[in-house]
Each structure stands twice: as C-alpha cells, then as structure tokens.
Chains A and B, each alone.
Chain A
Amino acid sequence: MSFAPNLPLIRLLVVKDWQLFQKQLAAYVLAGIIALALLGLAKPWAFHLGATLLLVVLVAAACFAISTSLLVERKEQTLAFVMSLPVTPLDFTLAKLAGNLLTFGVPYLVLLGGTAMVILGTPIPDGFVVFAVLVFGHVLLAYGLSLAVAMRVESEGWNTFVMIASMVLVNPFIMVIGQIDAIAGPARTDAITWSAPALAILAAQILLFALAIAWTAWSLGRRPAFY
C-alpha cells in the first residue's frame, strides 16, 4: 500500500465538498451581514441581538459543515460510491479533513475578523478582544473534537451528542473565564492584555484541536482498507 497521497484526487474531493457548501456559505454570509448591520445600529438591544446572531452563525457553521460532509454522506452511503474510485483511505481521510477545515475555516476566520472589527471599531473596550478570542478558541476546539468523532464513530447518536455537548459548553466556558480576574479585568479596559491564564487557555485549545485532527488523520489514514 502506498502512503503517497493522490493530490489531484484529493483536490477534486475538496472542491466537491466546497461546491456543495456554497448555499450554506451564502446563508452564513447573509446572516453575518445582518448581524453586522444590527451591531452598526449602536443600540444595546441591537448589539446583543447582533452578537448572539454571530455566535449562532459560528456554531451553525461548525455543526452543518460536519453534518453535510460526513453524517449526511454516510447516511446516503456516498462512501460506497467513493470506494469504487481509485481512492485510498489516506486520500479520503485527507480530503474530508481538508474539505471540512476549509468549509468551516472560511466563515470562522471571516467571523473572527468581523468580531475583532466590531470590538476595535466601537466604544466596546479593546481589551475584550482577548475574551472574544478565547470564546472563538472554544468553538474551534469543539469543532475539532466533533470532527474527530464524526470521522471515527459511525453512531449518529454519539455524533449528535458530542456536537451539541461541546458547543453548548460554550456557555459555562464563558461563565468560567468571566470569573478569572486576569481575563475578566483587562476585558473592561482599552488595553489588550494577554495574561498568563488567557495564554494558557488559548494554547490548550489550539493544542487539543491540533491533536484531535492529527490523531484522526493518523489513525484513519494508515488503514489499509476502508473496512
């Protein structure tokens, strides 16, 4: 068995996932523009509505990216068709990971940039950027874990559980970091302060996300056959 990935084929599979994702992306973009317009009204109710809408879009992008490209395809037995193509498990794993990271990564980065723009371009204290990045870090980690489980575990129930549980944990996570003085204190000032606890949490989030993706790629990619 060859461990050299078939890059042209992987590219085709990623493009396929990206094209199937267009409608979802258009919906996220529309919701993002509505959220930014609400934030631009500069009213407290509009700010809360806009910020909530941004978070909903972020979570929806994470869940639907996994659901469309993995869970729905599994239900429709797309893998059986893919197995008839000259594709190795390594190619398929890498294509699925790359496609998912792309379809989630684009809206994720756009929303992260939009949120930073909102904080730095409005009277909201600039220090709140650190708090927001940690919340985005949590969603990234939740997405990474959900993706890893979706690729490893066939049970739809377990997949749904992990996806919902990890995303819902964003609420307690916000409460917990809101209790840490080194994070909550500077968030109320105009200075952007990366305190030791903030850096540690962010590093842990990124490390765990990278581990989840790397472990998935390694464990699935080295299989000699799909089953």
Chain B
Amino acid sequence: MPGLFPRRSNLFGTVVVAASLGAVGFASIGLGAVVVGETRRVDLGQKAAPGIDSIKSQYKRPATIPFPKENPYTPEKAALGKKLYFDTRLSVSMAQSCASCHSPGFGWGDGLAVGVGHGMAKLGRHSPTIVNAAWGAIFMWDGRLATLEEQALGPIEAAGEMNMPLDKLMDRLASINEYKPLFAAAFPGEGMNAKTLAKAIATYERTVVSERAPFDAWIEGNEKAISEEAKRGFAVFNGKAMCSACHEGWNFTNDGFQDIGLPSKDIGRGEFVPGVVKMQHAFKTPGLREIERRSPYMHDGSLDTLEAVVEHYDHGGIDRPSRSDLMKPLGLSAQEKADLVAFMKTLTSNLSPTAVPVIPR
C-alpha cells in the first residue's frame, strides 16, 4: 500500500505555467505528463432540497451481506473463522485474541480510549469496531489495508499488537490437532496457511452485522419507533449539521478520510499520501451503528460521550490547512445538540449475545 503513493510528492511539481485566456477560461502548459488548469466556477443550477422521504430512502438496510467473489461465504469457513477470532494462541503471548480488542461485549471494540497491544502496552489509536466490516471499502483508521483479508493478518503480525510472525503461527496451529479437519472442511485442497487463515477470519468478521435498531423500524414506516426528538435530530444530522456528508447511508459512513480538527499529532492517512494536504491528520470516517455502546469516541478515544462529540463538531475543531472544508462552526442550539444525541441513540440494536466458541485443542 505505501508504494501506491509517491513518498515525496511532485504532484504539482510537473505543472509549470497556467496561461490565462481571460474570460474564456484557462489553458495550461507544462513539461510534465499531466497539466492541471485553473479551477473555474460552474453553474449547477438551483437544486431543491430533498424531502424527508427521499432522505429516508437512502438509509434502508441491505437485505444481504456482500462477500467477495475471491472469498465467498461458506458455513465451514465462518465457523473456523470464529474459532480463530476468539483463539488467544494467535498472539505470541497466547494471551490476546482478535476479540480482546474487538469484543462483542463492547460493540465489537474494547471500551478503551486506545487499544492495548503486546505486553499490555498502549497503542496509538482507538480500537475500531468490526461491526459491518463486510461493507468496508478500505481498512484501518489510516486506510493502509485494502481488504478485510489483509486486515485480519495485520494486527496478528504487528510487533506492537499480537506480535506473531505468520510462519510461526501456522506451525503453532498445525500442532493443534483439532484445527486440521476444520481447515480441511473449510478449504478443501488448500490446506492450512496464512491465506486460508485470513480468509476464514474475514468470512467470520463479515457475518458480524448490526441488528435491527429502532431507527430501522422508523425508516421502514413505523412512526412510533423513535421519539420526536430523535426525528428532529435526524433532520439536523442531514441538514444544518451536515453529518451525513460523511456519515452517509445505512451504515453511516462513506469510508472517506477527513481531518476533523482534533488536536492530535498523528497524521493518519497523511503517512500514505504525503503530498496531499487534505490527507494530513485525516482518518477514516467510522460508521455509527451501535455508537452508544462504543465510547470513548474518535480515532484517539479523546472524547468520552456523544455529547462531547457533538460539541466538537459544533465548534469545528482546529482550523489548519488539512482540516476538511466541511468542518466549520455550526451554531447548533442546545436543543439541536440534544436532538442529535437522541437520534444517534436510535442506532443501538438489541444485539443478541455472541457465544464464545469452543477452541480447538
């Protein structure tokens, strides 16, 4: 992934001169392969604001879970993946599993400000939930991994997290008799290797989906499913507060990267896109399902409550070149802030308990 983007950006370096052609517009010349002209205003015409029914139609739950054609769902894979997900022997210390930081008890996070890795050392960022990961376009707070299969292996190998080299892990799993038939059933003819391990864990993770919440019942037409306060909050969310510019759709994210002006030295996505100003301090927009169960909030776990999160957005955060153009003081009233929080709480489902699997020995 780091190779995808130039470490030292010459993104504008090849663009040499932009020659103005007056009112007609601009043409550009340059010695590079790509020449960027001036940006002009265009008339998009007046658009009527969408009505509430049109907005609500954008939040309908999908009927099925998407599985990639490279790794289609099978019950055997998901069952194996669940055992691996809860198996602490995936870490070098044999004390941490995927579920240690992404626990069903905490909305598939860990309830901590920042995660805890190998040797109980604090990590730099908040452990993200895995709820609805099946719909993810890109993974990790900084987007450094492209697929859920890659993501599944990342924390296992990371020295600061589970610190387990994959070849050593596969040797360890091969010595556990009860794993062999499970891999054979899930991956006939493919055997036990890092690739099948990743496929199994990713398949299980894709089955972790937020269940129906009061919000879903309201979207489907039950006007009594949520309070009037929450309905007003939904209007603020999609209107004055512009939350839906990033937290859009049924899972409340477009997986975009934004600097929302938090006072953190962590440059996030900027590490992988060094020449792009707006990617400095930018982090992936998290979905909001089960958000009430997922405190503390933000990539650094710096805000304890949903009320504090709303205050941050109302303030607009630190004004710096990288800050998203969507971040600005909102001027929300106390009522609007309370309505927004009431709305977000309607995204909490009655998550059924997750049974911890019997681990192979």
- Asked whether A and B interact, the reply is no
A interface residues, Cβ below 8 angstroms from B: none
B interface residues, Cβ below 8 angstroms from A: none
